[in-house]
Chains A and B, each alone.
Chain A
Amino acid sequence: MENTTIHPEQPPGQADYPYVIEMLNITKEFPGIIANDDITLQLKRGEIHALLGENGAGKSTLMSVLFGLYQPEKGKILKDGKEVTINNPNDANALGIGMVHQHFKLVDVFSVLDNIILGIEPNTLGFLQKKEARKKVLQLSESYGLNVDPDALVEDITVGMQQRTEILKMLYRENEILIFDEPTAVLTPQEITELMQIMKGLAAEGKSILFISHKLNEIMEVADRCTVLRKGKYVGTVNVADVTKEDLSAMMVGRNVKFAVDKTPAIPGETILEVEHLTVKSKLHKKNAVSDVSLTVRAGEIVCIAGIDGNGQSEFVSAITGLEKAEPGSKIILCGEDVTKKSIRYKNTHGMSHIPEDRHKHGLVLDYTLQENIVLQRYFEKEFRKSGFIRFDKVREYADYLIEKFDVRSGQGAVTLARSMSGGNQQKAIIARELDREHKLLVAVQPTRGLDVGAIEFVHEQIVATRDAGSAVLLISLELDEVMNLSDRILVMYEGEIVGEFDPKETTVEELGLYMAGAKRQEKKEGGEENAE
């Protein structure tokens, strides 16, 4: 499979030439590194072509070459069989290449329509003429089933809608080659399904789609063909219909990856975390983000809160960890002690570890070195402090120990700036820090967000290991696969309430989906009274 370069089946220039864009034998070197080594990518007209590879495999570099941000040392780019030179993104746009970035490039305080026409504003003598544009946007929105209100402000619409705005932007510019850069990373399961439909619709209309991802399920579902890169090298291009998920992951990672998590049945012990009637006010709307939630987590079990993003999970965790205030009447009991009003520091030092949802916002001080981040909650402990001074030698020692133990990789070891580390290693550093701290409860919020297959496997193993060592684990996840694989007990949260409790062995993804979408709810066990809205 390795290094089998595919050459065009037909000579260029013919009428029914099948490839709309070809990148042939692209080699791009950076000093000391070959980022792309003889990579060939051929995109057929009207197909959905997946580009698969782990973080650091060379996907972004390849796309930067396509957009003219880098000039390749070797290789050429063909459009409809004719060689083209792309010197900058404007050239790429002129060739009809458009891209939906992972992090959207939208102006929050502008309307959807304003965002779409941004840069090519229709005008007469400098005065905006939006009527025509509005008509065109509405028409496009309808014909591709995008369902976007052109007059809504971007800041008011959901992430899924924002993404569809980006898609509309490309369609409005009449791009025919659409690149989606990890489009599902920010979406809820429902929105992912919708996006898949939209992508299929676009392909059916003759648009060619390049779909960059490392999520195998999505590739299996939507893509026609798939090109796999590994460590800057071309591994191969396959018809998705001919291969299995396992084949793809072996091509991507270079070894067989376990998808199922190895774990023994849970042996729950004493109650570690008890939450009673927890209510949290919402910052976005008048209703409560979390209303009257009660649950317990016991030692040696992984309890997972499943739900679609924005149903109160984040607020729930923030209240437990102390980042947000709970309403009066709420009670949080950690190891038998009421910690509702205690500080974050107190909770940290009394058995709570927390892998935060956003590693850049909460988890790390990006401008601190790795070792400084490793002791973020411990710098004041006797081990690391002597009469007000930080004992950097001890910090270094401890950081080196964790780096070794958890295999955290970085350019300069313990003194690497956290900012310059890759996302996977940043997450590993956080996990190392939180798991090595003395803890009885681990609160893990989307611990595998944005990680690739190999990294996810590692994180899951670590979580199971801490459970087996006797910790209680409260896991919040949006990925149903993760929920089903990892948890011993599943709670579904919908609109700030727990609407069902399940045993992962006895339930199905479909059943969970119904509860997550609010179509069904179990009656409350205690008291038996239904909590009507």
Chain B
Amino acid sequence: MQNKAQTKEKVSFFRKPAIQSIISSLICILGGLLVGFLVLFFMAVFSKDIPISEAFRGLKIVLSGPAAAGNPRDILFTCGNMLFTATPLIMTGLSVSLAFKTGLFNIGAPGQYLMGAMGSLLVALSIPQGSMPAWVIWTLALLTGTLLGVVWGAIPGFFKAKFNVNEVIVCILTNWIAANVVSWVFYANQQQFVNIAETKTNFIRKTISNGVSTATFGLDKLFAGSYLDVSIIIVSVIAVLLYVMLNKTTFGYELKACGFNRNAAKYAGMNEKRNIMLSMALAGGLAACGAALWCLNGQQDFKWNTYQALPNVGFNGIPAALLASNNPIAVIFSAIFLRYIDTGGSYLAGATKFNEYVPQLIIAVIIYFAGFSKFIRDFLNKRGKKKEKPAPAFAVDETVNAPKTQTPPEPAAEDAPEPAQTTGKDGDDQ
């Protein structure tokens, strides 16, 4: 729709919203890397053991991502695993960005993720192998997990819509409820789901033990025996579908209208309460689907006592969404990027004299900077706007005052309703 617009009215390259989003994300990433480097640098400066050159080497390793693995085969293997671990992150990123589009902050992705994991594992491990084809079990497990996430997401949506309870609070509560429910369910059924002989302590059996695993279509072999399976493709398709849904359908139009301006949506006769619930339910389903895809890979361990910590991948959906400016297709890339840095970081401790906490710190800094992407986008936008001019409010024909000189267009600072422009006087617009 935006593209069609530009055929008629030329918008300067840097004013295109998509370009601005990309630029702002890049600035965030660069900023994060710079600060990350400074951390390395000063650690090297203040430490007797670490020469300063190590800081540059560290940055290089973080930047090289999977390439830090060394020989080609290892790089391929690492790449495959990077893509595989990006899969659930893409889904939680999509979850968060969908909610953002509707004006909601889905900080409940970890809880929804846990419920998805639980649902899929319960089904995948409890239907006896051979009683039905494995792909049926796989599908049932995926659907069950997703459905549980839908329910889990709908809870904050319901409270928001009906009682106007802040969704953040309810999300945080449902996160910990989910953590305890999941722990409790698996604790009560340890006999069935944990095979002490086969698995590490505190971990649920892998679904492959019941013959259930995601099809790989040779992707695992292609990437030198990594975990990669077809889920990365499923996830990418979901992202594209979500993009189309948001931008081309009446449903997406309604969701976004509710997000931008709930009152106007109500005025226009949209059922804004229903839309809020649907949006949260869908967001929950997305996060849970990501978890189910992860678990159903077949080779993954799931730690049953989750009451101790919420899964990071749920929270990391937030920076993935922010870096992508909530664009579903861009989420694919932002999530992969976050995993890329993570992968590079994981080699840092082994290859340099920095300890294993340093890469985590650098990643945290980059994620932190991701939060600024909207700020930077607004800044770019404001700068761009100063140079543009809104059209005059009304036609004025110059019949009274004869000389038809070239009248100056309307000044930009006047009358444009954007508060950032004229109310800067008190510096109160942030």
Contacts and interface: CB of A to CB of B under 8 A. Distances in A.
A323 to B, nearest CB: 7
A354 B267 CA distance: 9
Contacts of B392: 56, 231, 409, 422
Interface string B128-146: 0000000000000000000
Q: Which of B268, B395, B407 has the most CB of A within 10 A?
A: B268
A28 to B, nearest CB: 8
A385 B250 contact: yes
Interface in B252-304: 253-254, 256-257, 260-261, 263-271
Interface in A407-425: 407, 409-415, 419-425
Contacts of A425: 390-391, 393
A424 B395 CA distance: 11
A346 B393 CA distance: 33
A59 B261 contact: no
6 contacts: A231-B396, A231-B410, A250-B400, A389-B249, A415-B9, A426-B417
B396 A253 contact: yes
A410 B390 contact: yes
A83 B400 CA distance: 36
A54 interface: yes
A481 interface: no
B250 A390 contact: yes
B197 interface: no
Interface in B409-430: 409-418, 422-426, 428
B309 interface: no
B393 A423 contact: yes
Interface stretch (B47-55, B58-66, B381-389): B381-389
A36 interface: yes
Interface residues of B, number: 62
A35 B413 contact: yes
Contact of B400 (A64, A256, A421): A256
Given A412-B11, A420-B418, A423-B417, A356 B408 contact: no
A60 B422 contact: yes
A167 B25 CA distance: 45
B5 interface: yes
Contacts of B8: 413, 415
Given A35-B411, A419-B418, A379 B387 contact: no
Contacts of A506: none
Q: Which of A55, A321, A345, A426 has the most CB of B within 10 A?
A: A55
Which 4 A-B pairs have CB atoms at the shortest separation, nearest pair first? Answer: A35-B411, A345-B269, A415-B5, A424-B393
A501 interface: no
A177 interface: no
A61 B411 CA distance: 8
Given A105-B428, A366-B260, A389-B249, A61 B414 contact: yes
A392 B413 contact: no
Given A364-B264, A422-B416, 9 more contacts: A35-B408, A64-B413, A105-B426, A233-B407, A345-B269, A348-B268, A388-B249, A410-B391, A458-B394
Contacts of B398: 254-255
Interface string A50-74: 0000111111110010010110000
A230 B268 CA distance: 37
Contacts of B264: 361-365, 376
Contacts of A366: 260-261, 417
Contacts of B396: 54, 230-231, 253-255, 454
Nearest to A34: B408
A54 B269 contact: no
B251 interface: yes
Contacts of A343: 269, 271
A255 B400 CA distance: 5
A35 B11 contact: no
Contacts of A412: 5, 9, 11
Contacts of B248: 389-390, 392
B278 to A, nearest CB: 14
Interface residues of A, number: 90
Contact of B266 (A99, A344, A360): A344
Interface string A382-398: 00010011101100100
B399 interface: yes
B398 to A, nearest CB: 6
Interface of B: 1-2, 4-5, 8-9, 11, 248-251, 253-254, 256-257, 260-261, 263-271, 385-401, 403, 407-418, 422-426, 428
A346 B271 CA distance: 12
B426 A422 contact: no
Contacts of A37: 408
B250 A379 contact: yes
Contacts of B426: 89, 105
A364 B268 CA distance: 9
Contacts of A253: 396
A511 to B, nearest CB: 34
B267 A2 contact: no
Nearest to B270: A345
A380 B250 contact: yes
Contacts of A105: 426, 428
A389 B250 contact: yes
Contact of B267 (A1, A70, A362, A458): A362
Given A30-B413, A362-B263, A367-B260, A452 B393 contact: yes
Nearest to B10: A412
A75 B424 CA distance: 23
A114 interface: no
Given A254-B400, A376-B264, A409-B391, A56 B424 contact: no
Interface string A344-357: 11111100001010
B415 A254 contact: no
Contacts of A54: 393-394, 396
Contact of A233 (B250, B271, B408): B408
A130 interface: no
A373 to B, nearest CB: 9
Contacts of B413: 30, 35, 60-61, 64, 70
B391 A411 contact: yes
A446 interface: no
Nearest to A92: B425
A2 B401 contact: yes
A343 B395 CA distance: 39
B253 A379 contact: yes
A69 B411 contact: no
A377 B251 CA distance: 13
A255 B399 CA distance: 6
